[in-house]
Structure 1
Amino acid sequence: MPGLLRGVARTAVVAGTATAVSNRVSRRQAGRWAQQDYEQQQQQYAQAQYAQPQAPPPPPASQTAPADEMTGKIEQLKQLADLKAQGVLTDAEFEDQKRRLLA
């Protein structure tokens, strides 16, 4: 019977040691993964913090002021007149473009 007891005790010690080692390895891996996740989050935060701010999108056409629209049309009319003066546009083409612009 002492031999059987000794064998059981040895098995218990080996199993206990294996469990302790396995738990320690698992905790160490979990700690490494947590550290990696933390570092990745810090990098993403730093990149987002120092990224170039994007310009706000232009307002929809329905929200632009009427004065802005008129200024734009005046500029386009001036460009058309310049093209006509340079001989790029004929009188008929100029009148057609002007009518489309003002419509």
Structure 2
Amino acid sequence: MATTAVVAGTAAHMGARSAQRSAEADQAQAAPPAAAPADEPAAPEAAESPQIEELKQLAALKDQGILTEEEFSAKKAQILGL
């Protein structure tokens, strides 16, 4: 008799657990996927654009006195398409 109670109890527990997993799966399928914000800033470790890299190099040359302010401004306008 005790064995029958254990088997019945185990079956009931497993049935309840299966129903719970099914409900969780149904809920997961019904929920819409979370959308990332469109205007989220890029991660700091993300690669910078080639234009930014070139501007940084030009700024370094200007700071070292290799480029004049006028040369730097002209090349910056060319890179940015201004």
Q: Which has the higher contact order (CA 8 A, sep 6+)?
A: 2
Task: Give TM-score, length-normalised by structure 2.
Answer: 0.47
TM-score, normalization by structure 1: 0.38
* Pair member with larger Rg: 1
Which structure's residues are more often helix, by fraction?
A: 1
